[in-house]
A = this chain, B = another copy of it.
Amino acid sequence: MSEIYVVKIGGTSGVDVQLICEELVTFINQGQQIIIVHGGSNDANQLGDLLNTPAQFITSPSGFTSRYTDKKTLEIFAMAVNGKVNVQIVSSLQKLGVNAVGLSGMDGRLIEADRKKSIQSIVNGKRKIIRDDYSGKITKINPEMLMWLLSNGMVPVIAPLAISEEGDPLNVDADRVAAELAVAVHAKYLFLFTAVKGLMKKFPDENTWIPSLKTNEVEMGISYAEGRMKKKVLGAKEALDGGVGMVFIGDGRITNPIQNALDGNVTRIGG
């Protein structure tokens, strides 16, 4: 039976979409089924600047950073991730002969989420409540459409939007999307590709890079992580708790990033 790999392509500058897509062809030809999840933070920031709506970020009391997404920002975010990044990845894969299908989590209610109607945030050291944010916490995955696509030889490419109970699009963290999807489709591996070698005890000192963490060490991993890396390690925990075999967090800037990860050159979590 073929195994499912969920591959998250980070939206950070430096991550090489083309190199990742090229290597995926090899694994698809070997019979693996692939689901791609992508971010788009860099493109969303650039488009926001061009449209005079520069990105703003908020930090939760527990130290997680996320995009402040009011209605206008959500519209820009959707244009960047659905209309630009997703189209580019689908095109890159189609050029390589892979029959990709671009979707967001809104489509077919693939990813349902609760809107965070009030968000605790730390601004200049002070707590503030934000109420006009359209980001969400994932509550349910409906994977039937993905399973049909996979069994018909297609590769779903998923933009990080979810749908609220009310039918509104919501910004959801792409690492968490990848983790939840990996659980829902019983993926063997989850790869979170970004522009660093993996988790480090003291970021950005690569000498403190962590080659592997056991499942019972993940909480400790979260405490090491800085900024957006926190969500990746949290995603890894969710994936492992949900039955995913192994999670790899690391370098998406290089040739053959999947093999590089399997070879032990990124942070491997699980087991």
**Interface residues of A, Cβ cutoff 8 Å to B:** 47, 50-51, 75, 78-84, 86-87, 90-96, 99-104, 106-109, 144-145, 148-149, 152, 154, 161, 163, 166-169
Contact = CB atoms under 8 A, between A and B. Distances in A.
Contacts of A167: 91-96
Given A79-B84, A80-B83, A84-B78, A101 B94 contact: no
A80 B82 contact: no
A122 B61 CA distance: 62
18 contacts: A50-B51, A78-B87, A81-B83, A82-B83, A83-B83, A87-B104, A87-B169, A91-B169, A93-B167, A94-B109, A94-B167, A95-B166, A99-B109, A100-B108, A102-B103, A102-B107, A108-B154, A144-B152
A78 B106 CA distance: 18
A161 B87 CA distance: 10
Give the oligomeric copy count: 2
Given A81-B83, A86-B82, A104-B102, A94 B163 contact: yes
A50 B86 CA distance: 22
A44 to B, nearest CB: 10
A107 B90 CA distance: 7
A101 B144 CA distance: 13
Contact of A90 (B50, B93, B106): B106
B91 A106 contact: yes
B102 A106 contact: yes
Given A80-B83, A100-B107, A103-B107, 12 more contacts: A50-B50, A79-B80, A83-B83, A90-B107, A91-B106, A91-B168, A92-B167, A94-B106, A101-B145, A103-B103, A144-B152, A148-B148
Contacts of A86: 82
